[in-house]
Amino acid sequence: MVKTQFLRTELLLGEEGLKNLNASSVMIVGLGAVGGYVLEALARAGVGHFILVDFDVFEETNINRQILALHSSLGKKKIEVAKQRVLDINPECEVETLDMFVNDKTLPELLQIKADFVVDAIDALNPKCGLMEGLWRAGRNFISSMGAALKTDPSAIHFGKLIQTKNCSLSKFIRKRLKRRGVDLSQIYCVYSDEQTALPETAIAEAEEENTIPNGRTRHTLGSLPTITAIFGLTIANQVIKELSKGK
């Protein structure tokens, strides 16, 4: 008999669909604004096994858009907060964590880990391109998130192929890099916004010391809304649920 908490999922997807979700494993790389909402939805839908990958801790600036960022979680590792969140939702779920920054040295280890689906929610360009290329070459099922910052129109958010993206500076750089590396862009699926933005000068702030990734490169702080990043994450999660509920 289905657990009461998953009853509504089973009513919509059927008994077999729910069983398929329970038996599935999902790796989420990046547990920030988009990845946190992916995790939230998949855990509530009944996915039975997660591999959570991140290197970072929560900071106060995360609170405006990251579902796992609370005053009580400031300074804590994202992977540990995320694991506890999943177990609070579904105590029977299996959760593995990897305290890892994705780069050329760590990517081979990451690609050796088997999962039925991988979600790329990294926002740094070099690690993101490396992960996407590695997953594609390995023939893994995955969806990538493109840029959700600086966007304000929910109706402009779409699921589609990387080759279809437009008005997204992140996907533009990614397309160029992956194409040079021989990756077939028509086989890469992502969630993106094609909104053509007209931004105030204040939307992009000068780089701050706290916004530095492990390779030493400092990134600019980009304005973002909790609504848009959440919709990106939930759109990805919805696609994963539909795929995994069909079975292997």
The pLDDT tens digits along the chain (248 residues) read: 457 899 999 999 999 999 999 999 999 999 999 999 999 999 999 999 999 999 999 999 999 999 999 999 999 999 999 999 999 999 999 999 999 999 999 999 999 999 999 999 998 999 999 999 999 999 999 999 999 988 999 999 999 999 999 999 899 999 999 999 999 999 999 999 999 876 555 444 455 544 555 554 556 778 899 999 999 999 999 999 999 999 87
pLDDT computed for residue 20 by the predictor: 98
d(CA 17, CA 50): 18
pLDDT computed for residue 29 by the predictor: 98
Domains parsed from the chain with CATH numbers:
4-244 (3.40.50.720)
d(CA 244, CA 248): 7
Tokens of 31: 């547990």
Enter the pTM of the model.
0.92
pLDDT computed for residue 1 by the predictor: 47
Helix (H) or strand (E) holding 176: helix 169-180
d(CA 10, CA 28): 24
Residue type (1 letter), 9: T
pLDDT computed for residue 200 by the predictor: 52
Beta-sheet strands, E only, within the chain: 25-29, 49-54, 94-99, 117-120, 142-145, 157-161, 189-193, 204-205, 221-222
d(CA 82, CA 39): 8
Q: Are 117 and 141 in contact (CB under 8 A)?
A: yes
What is the CB-side half-sphere exposure of residue 80 using CA atoms within 13 A? 10
pLDDT computed for residue 197 by the predictor: 77
Compute CA 246 distance to the chain's CA centroid, rounded to the nearest angstrom: 21
Q: How far apart are the first and last CA of the chain?
A: 22
